[in-house]
Amino acid sequence: MHEFRVSPRERLVLTAIIEIYIATGEPVSSQAVARHFENKEGLSSATIRNVMAVLGEMGLLDQPHTSAGRLPTPMAFRFHVAQLQQSSRGGSALASTGGQISGQMSDQRREQIDDNFAGVNSPQQYLERTSHVLALLSGGLGVAVAGMNAAAPQILEHIHFSRLGTGRVLAVLVTRAGTVQDRVLTIDRELSYDDLEIAARYLNENFRSWPLDRIRVEVTRRVESERAEYQSRLSALDELCRRGALAAETVGPMIYVEGMANLLVGELDRERLRQMLAALEAKQRLVELLNAYVDARQQEVRVVVGLDGLDGSNMPGGLGGRDRAMPAMPDLVLIGAPARFGAESMGTVAVIAPTRMQYQEMIQAVSYIARLSERVLEAPPQ
């Protein structure tokens, strides 16, 4: 935000305009501000108009049409967030691109969130539920991205082999998380249906609930150390494993997103919204967006009003070119925070929503849910 001085009267009027706009979604007139004050502040409509003109010159208000009321700009919402932070902590205003804020939430809101997280006892459940709850509370997009330490290991639930033809076998692997991975294996020797059945039965009976990487190591150990005993039973399995039957797929971090439809009913520029939704649907772009704005090493909530068109120059490590830039969305706000379990990073939880939102409530909700990971994951399973 540009450096400028805002007088107490100007701050009072600007706050009233923001609150009225959040409540109505309409341009705010001087008469509406006067009614908001109910003459308690002794400000006439003429005085309010003069103050609004000054705020417009500062870049804090916009006037869609000559005869229309005023709309808060992204800069005004940044100022509003700074005032919330200053009020709750007694500190200084925030930087231009965002900042940290804390506060107390109502008992009713806390109970609502706690009820929604009842029964959650795993990192994956926590992150999935987080995206749902944040979308519900914000009327925007709820996002939860798992950190490296929260990524679920690939656990074997069941595996099946089918013979496709000469030198080709289909392996269908189901993990404990419910993902189904199928892959075609090219093998050097012919395996019969009986060979494949024996191999699948051996894996399912001996290694169900094992991580895939441990299964591969153990199968190799058994074949090498007890080759004579296992040769007849494991020769086919050894061949299948060496050809990638149990290879863990390389996947990015788990990403849970809910509330895309919420953004569609808003009042944002339709073309820019279409571009943003197209970018957000690519899950890697969401990871890049959150990594650019939310530092997993910090504890505080990060508030960013007006999302820039991000390219590699703004991201940690760079993205390698403008072809990967996101469209600028000044009408959207990101409120995000790192979630932790002890010293480990669970990931990032965030809301992406229109600027017309209840900032105090959403900042408190994101902060509370980010800290909730400790409590729900320490609780014994129900």
Number of neighbours of residue 110 by Cβ within 10 angstroms: 15
In a domain, 90, yes or no: no
Same domain, 58 and 25: yes
Least confident of 17-26, 186-195, 224-233: 224-233
* pLDDT surpasses 50 at 10: yes
Query: Using one digit for the tens of pLDDT, what is the confidence trace for 118-169?
Result: 888 777 788 889 999 999 998 888 988 887 555 556 788 899 988 888 888 8
In a domain, 260, yes or no: yes
In this predicted structure, what is the pLDDT of residue 150? 52
Residue range 348-360: average pLDDT? 89
In contact, 43 and 86? CB cutoff 8 Å:
no
Same domain, 354 and 308: yes
CATH number for position 14: 1.10.10.10
Same domain, 141 and 273: yes
Query: Using one digit for the tens of pLDDT, what is the confidence trace for 23-63?
Result: 998 899 998 998 888 766 678 888 899 999 999 999 999 98
In a domain, 353, yes or no: yes
Q: Measure the CA angle with vertex 313, ends 303 and 356; round to 5°.
A: 25
Residue position matching structure tokens 């494949």: 196
Task: Using the 3D structure, point to which of 72, 93, 118 is the last residue of a domain.
Answer: 72
Same domain, 374 and 269: yes
* pLDDT surpasses 60 at 339: yes
Residue range 207-224: average pLDDT? 83
| pLDDT grade for 13, boundaries at 50, 70 and 90 | very high
Same domain, 222 and 287: no
In a domain, 78, yes or no: no
In a domain, 81, yes or no: no
Q: How far apart are CA 277 and CA 274, in angstroms?
A: 5
Least confident of 105-114, 200-209, 249-258, 319-328: 319-328
In this predicted structure, what is the pLDDT of residue 114? 92
| pLDDT grade for 219, boundaries at 50, 70 and 90 | confident
**Would the pTM count as exceeding 0.75?**
no
Residue position matching structure tokens 């100007």: 10
In a domain, 96, yes or no: no
Same domain, 268 and 226: no
Residue range 318-341: average pLDDT? 66
In contact, 326 and 307? CB cutoff 8 Å:
yes
| pLDDT grade for 191, boundaries at 50, 70 and 90 | confident
Provide the edge-to-edge strand list for the sheet that holds 302-307.
Answer: 255-258, 141-146, 344-354, 329-341, 302-307
Same domain, 262 and 346: yes
Of 255, 244, 238, 247, give the one whose Cα is nearest residue 289.
255
Same domain, 223 and 257: no
Residue range 339-348: average pLDDT? 76
Please count the structural domains in the chain: 3
Q: Tell me which residue range forms the domain holding 30.
A: 8-72
In this predicted structure, what is the pLDDT of residue 95? 34
Identify the burial level of 143 via C-beta atoms within 10 angstroms of its C-beta, where 0-12 means exposed, 13-18 middle and 19 or more buried. buried
Q: How far apart are CA 220 and CA 153, in angstroms?
A: 20
In a domain, 136, yes or no: yes
Of 378, 377, 353, 379, give the one whose Cα is nearest residue 365.
353
CATH number for position 202: 3.30.390
As beta bridge partners, residue 145 has: 255, 348
Same domain, 198 and 322: no
In contact, 77 and 59? CB cutoff 8 Å:
no
Number of neighbours of residue 371 by Cβ within 10 angstroms: 13
In this predicted structure, what is the pLDDT of residue 94? 37
In a domain, 88, yes or no: no
Same domain, 129 and 256: yes
